[in-house]
A and B are shown apart, each in its own frame.
Chain A
Amino acid sequence: MRNPLTRYPHRLAAIVVAACLVTAVACSSSGGGSTDAGAGAGGGTSDTVIPLAPCPLDALASATQPVEVVLWHPFVAKTKDTLEAMVAQYNASQTKVKIRAEAQGSYNELAAKYQAAVPSKDLPAIAIFEDINTKSVADSGTVLPAQSCIDADNYDTSDLLPSVKAFYSVGGALFPSSANISTPLLYVNRGQFRKAGLDPDKAPTTLAEIRADAEKLKATGVVDKPLALSLQPWFIESWLNGEGAPIVNNDNGRGPGQTTEAAFDTDKTREIYTWIRDMNKDGLLTAVPNTDGNIDDYLAMAQQKTAMIIESSVAATSIKAFLKGDLDPSTLQGGSGAAPTDPNALDIGAALFPGVSEPGKVRLGGSGWYITNTTKPEVQAAAWDFMKWWNETDQQVRWNLEGSYLPFRTSAAKDPRVTADWTNDISGRWLAISYSQLVNGIDPDFPGAQFGPFDKYTTATSSSIESMIFSGVEPAAAVTDAATKTTDAITQYNRDNF
């Protein structure tokens, strides 16, 4: 969950300044407002006063030949294949627009390349950025907010999920035109729960219950390290968010004022850190460092070396794959969830994300689709046309069934194809739990923090937890360290206006 958009703040500042000099138009139309107000006004950077870049809706109608729209995406393997097949379907469905999907490796690589191309305005028409980049992408002044096109096109957004709209809005304006959505889940080894005398249908709902169950699993000798915890800042955020505890000031970065400092150096955060530290100290937890491609928690689950992991809902299909050969096909495809005849067979279930005090409260994750404002008007209009198609129920259904992302609109979740999968297929049932968190577990008035140097916060949080686990730093000191680094990053971001 790193944010490479602002990984090189000095360089970025230079790039943005250069971009402003070269492309005075783009900056004055969108980013200029905040640039002027931010310097010296002391809290004057108000997101709500930035005029949105206009949506050139009519430009597509007047285009005389097919408009090519370049789409940069971070997907690989099956998700990439699904995306490309869907793009081909769109291209074949009409003659005015031709989408060219180009894989850029990963979110980080895509963002780095995007940033490098900003000065020359040689940007794709659509780019996909990670959830934590919302504010920095909006501040970059290079995107056409979806809100502009929604307003210009009288596009009906009532069917779009309120929690997603809230999360991806900056100053009341929705920025990305679509989103790939996931939420974290608790995956449990039901067989090991049974062996320890625990009810596998009553998975732990709070951190305290995880600890109680872990102690029982360990004491009965069923498994040595009952929890394998991937040290992702996303989970910490979800725990804090579920408690209504902010990461930064200014109403968690969403208020009318300027965000100036971290707000998480609190008892609540210390309570979470202490829980992790004590679980580790008492031998109840395997800590899995948050590095790219580290899947030790999956492997521990597959080898029955752990009874619980917390992972994203997009992991559902991978975890289901481990069950092949252990659960009989009828169970995999939607049996009663009864115990397999072999007590040692792998039997995994998923449950609501356990919270500090109640389950199912999360901060949604994933990424957003942004239309850029540096291309020709007809390209921007064509990109919007594609995004409207992409958001239609049929496409959102397919993106869920084949791409594992949760649907962006409620009609897709109610579609018979999705409800059938969510009832009958084991990973589908897990996605249904994940979706219920999206609907019930996120307060649209408090959907999660939003600030420019979000990546600095996640890096600081990762290293603070790792220092606590691997170097014995006290929880309070670790939290303070992360908060100090976050505040420093925000100060620098505000000073450099990026």
Chain B
Amino acid sequence: MAAELNQPGWKKLTWYVVLTVLSLVILFPVYMALVRALSTPVAYVKAGQPLHPVDIQSDVFRRAWNEGDLGAKFVVSTVVTLIIVAAQLGTALLAAYAFTFLVFPLKRLLFALFMATLMLPIEVTLIPNQDTIRNLHWLDSYPGLVAPFLATAFGTFLIRQGFMGIPRDLRDASQLDGFGHLAFLRRVAIPVTRPVIASFAVIAFLGAWNQYTWPRTVVTQGKWETIQIGLKALSAAKVEESNIGLAAAILAALPILALLILLQRQLIRGLTAGAVKG
């Protein structure tokens, strides 16, 4: 860190310029979404689709909220996402703990099988899962929306990698202190790997919040539609109202943005964990 602070001015400046350009590149699509959301679509198109808003409609977000009935959809999406994130954290932590610290027969094979499920895209399991949910009479319900996503091989893998970084000495020490499995998990393993767990929570949140295919498959009634289904309906509206869809998309992205800001520190620590070893 000290070396960075002592960098010569021109070097620092170069870095700032590069980073600023990169962040502009990344933010540009977001900016354009905002421009198009605020513009009156027909006037915007006729003006040659410029980089600034044309004929601003300040009420577009309110209209998107009302026309898309987004309030109800936010509630469904929030409940679904919270259940999925909580369940995935619970199952992934326990499974990762078992695969890291417990000794049992066929451990490697079971783990390999676990990982193999990562190779199955949702398209492969869509129809059988849908049949199962239908037979359980769970269409148009919270159980139907969350059931296939309560456990995750990816989260297990990620957290296991984190657990494997815990020194053996730490474990031995806690055993001497009389910690059982759960106490060790709760008081040592989780605090030590918190950045990894936070990263996973964000990824799980993103995945659950942005789901489209599965909810579309098990929902037939409007009141069970999630926010992403609502977005699709709005974005498919007519040319002259195309800004409504973009406004709704921005609204739908706000919770994710809030989460990223909230967990920013944990995330960066998760990303750089292991990078400063030695």
Contacts and interface: CB of A to CB of B under 8 A. Distances in A.
A70 B43 CA distance: 40
B240 A321 contact: yes
A203 B131 CA distance: 54
Interface stretch (A61-69, A147-155, A297-305): A297-305
Interface stretch (B149-157, B231-239, B259-267): B231-239
Name which of B45, B130, B134 has the most chain A CB atoms within 10 A of its CB.
Answer: B45
Interface size class for chain A?
20 to 34
7 contacts: A102-B221, A124-B220, A295-B239, A318-B238, A318-B240, A321-B42, A326-B46
Interface of B: 42-43, 45-46, 48-49, 67, 127, 130-131, 134-135, 139, 216-217, 220-222, 229, 232-241
Interface SS of A by simple majority: mixed
B125 to A, nearest CB: 13
A348 to B, nearest CB: 12
B22 to A, nearest CB: 30
Interface string A55-88: 0000000000000001010001110100000000
Contact of B239 (A117, A124, A298): A298
Given A102-B221, A109-B216, A120-B134, A77 B236 contact: yes
A326 B49 CA distance: 17
Interface string A279-302: 000000000000001010011001
Interface SS of B by simple majority: helix
Nearest first, the 7 closest Cβ-Cβ pairs linking A and B are A77-B237, A321-B240, A318-B239, A76-B233, A302-B45, A76-B236, A318-B238
Contacts of A293: 235-236
B238 A317 contact: yes
Nearest to A324: B42
A446 interface: no
A303 B237 CA distance: 20
Contact of A322 (B45, B135, B139): B45
Contacts of B49: 299
Given A120-B134, A325-B43, A105 B239 contact: no
A298 B49 CA distance: 13
A105 B229 contact: yes
A78 B229 contact: no
B225 to A, nearest CB: 8
Contact of B46 (A70, A105, A322): A322
B238 A106 contact: no
Contacts of B232: 105-106
A299 B238 CA distance: 13
Contacts of A120: 131, 134-135
B239 A116 contact: no
A417 interface: no
Name which of B42, B67, B237 has the most chain A CB atoms within 10 A of its CB.
Answer: B42
Nearest to A300: B45
Interface string A99-112: 00011111001000
Contacts of B220: 70, 72, 102, 104, 113, 124
Contact of A78 (B43, B222, B238): B238
Contacts of A72: 220
B176 to A, nearest CB: 57
A376 interface: no
A103 B222 contact: yes
Contacts of A70: 220
Contacts of B130: 116
Given A102-B221, A116-B130, A321-B239, A302 B234 contact: no
A303 B254 CA distance: 33
Contacts of A106: 232, 236
A144 B46 CA distance: 48
A276 to B, nearest CB: 25
Contacts of A321: 42, 238-240
A109 B126 CA distance: 13
B42 A76 contact: no
A378 to B, nearest CB: 21
Given A11-B127, A102-B221, A303 B46 contact: yes
B138 to A, nearest CB: 12
A119 interface: yes
Contacts of A317: 238
A92 B139 CA distance: 28
B233 A105 contact: yes
Contact of A117 (B67, B134, B222, B240): B134
